[in-house]
Chain A
């Protein structure tokens, strides 16, 4: 099952999360017109989303995303969590 969630950050960028998995998030793809430094951290953001049960709460997701050592520009961990939650719900 493949699902997508999108958040348009007010005065910011667009973040899209595409997920697969039924009970757990098996794979996550994070795309959009945001900025991220270093660019390779995109894979780390995806890894932070993967593995959680689809019933994951927002706080857990935000915490996992915030452990990634990266500078998120035009969006934040909460926006990425919200896009993920939109995809799983």
Chain B
């Protein structure tokens, strides 16, 4: 399969999340090639899981005060705190026929190129079911998927050099909600790529682009003006509105 690699474009969080909807639908319709996209952000943000309750996850006053954009994703899973340059987020938009129907297997498969790249750089990274990339010291990142009839969106965020103290101020990681103490401490433990390898963020992304070339026939590309126009419109209609972001 030929996969376009898009490694450019800096957008607001609502536009980023709108692009997920636009691109998965266009790949499903066969209008856009299968694509791997790396994200570049404008501001700190909290991408919220589709089914999460806003007030359970976010210290809303603190986020407002710090200009942190809280945006509900189209994928399930958990909330994250992200900052420009301190995380690596990527998205795969693939035809459904190219992805295993076994959900658990597909998380492992679609994150494998990233794990390969981290391992090539000397990091002890591995897949941890269902949807985590783990290191012996903690969680490096997490993935989330949306399946439509004809396409799969798989997006993953990994911590490169995240300010974890700020993360704990922004996110409400409620102790009363977590019965299993071991899981609780694991969730609080973030393993950062920069703590374990001497590579810049750019070098990590380059290693990932090289690694994905071992799995697919890749070529470089950019998002079209039409896709971006759709995403900006959808961001204004939905992903920048309280109606969507605070609906739960």
List residues of chain A with CB under 8 Å of any chain B CB: 6, 8, 10-12, 14, 16, 29-37, 39, 42, 71, 73-74
Tell me which residues across on chain B come within 8 A of A31, comparing CB atoms.
51-53, 56, 248
Dominant SS at the B interface? Answer: loop
B85 close to chain A: CB less than 8 A: no
Is B15 an interface residue when CB atoms closer than 8 A count as contact?
no
Q: Which residue of B lies closest to A14 (CB)?
A: B177
9 A-B pairs with C-beta separation under 8 A: A8-B183, A14-B178, A31-B51, A32-B52, A33-B76, A35-B103, A36-B76, A37-B146, A39-B74
Q: Cβ of B183: which chain A residues have Cβ within 8 Å of it?
A: 8, 10-11
Residues of B in contact with A (beta carbons under 8 Å apart): 49-53, 56, 74-79, 103, 129-130, 144-147, 177-180, 183, 248
The answer to whether B51 touches A32 (Cβ under 8 A) is: yes
In the complex the two chains form, is B180's CB within 8 Å of A34's CB? Answer: no
Establish whether residues B50 and A39, one from each chain, have CB atoms under 8 Å apart when the complex forms: yes
Q: B129 — which chain A residues lie within 8 A by C-beta?
A: 11
Q: How far is the CB of A68 from chain B (nearest CB, A)?
A: 14
Q: Which of B52, B75, B130, B147 contacts A74 (CB 8 A)?
A: B130
Given contacts A14-B177, A16-B56, A16-B177, contact A35 B248 (CB under 8 A): no
CB < 8 Å A-B pair total: 58
Interface of A, helix, strand, loop or mixed by DSSP: strand
Q: Is the CB of B130 within 8 A of A12?
A: yes
A36 CA / B76 CA spacing, docked (Å)? 7
From known contacts A35-B144, A36-B51, infer whether A8 and B76 are also in contact, taking CB-CB under 8 Å: no
**Assembly CA distance A14 to B78 (angstroms):** 9
B180 touches A73 (CB 8 A): no
Tell me the complex Cα distance, A29–B130, Å. 24
In whole angstroms, what is the CA distance A26 to B2 when docked? 51
B248 touches A8 (CB 8 A): no
Contacts of B52 in A (CB 8 A): 31-33
User: Contacts A12-B130, A16-B56, A33-B52 given; 13 further ones with Cβ under 8 A?
Assistant: A8-B180, A16-B53, A16-B177, A31-B51, A33-B51, A33-B76, A35-B77, A35-B103, A35-B145, A36-B51, A36-B76, A39-B146, A73-B130
B77, B103, B179: the one within 8 Å of A33 (CB): B77
Considering residues B49, B129, B146, which has the most beta carbons from chain A within 10 angstroms of its beta carbon? B49
What A residues does B248 contact at CB under 8 A?
A: 29, 31
Inter-chain contacts of A39 with B (CB < 8 A): 50-51, 74, 76, 146
State the Cβ distance, B135 to closest chain A Cβ, in Å.
Answer: 18
* Interface core residue of A29, A39, A42 (most chain B CB under 10 Å): A39
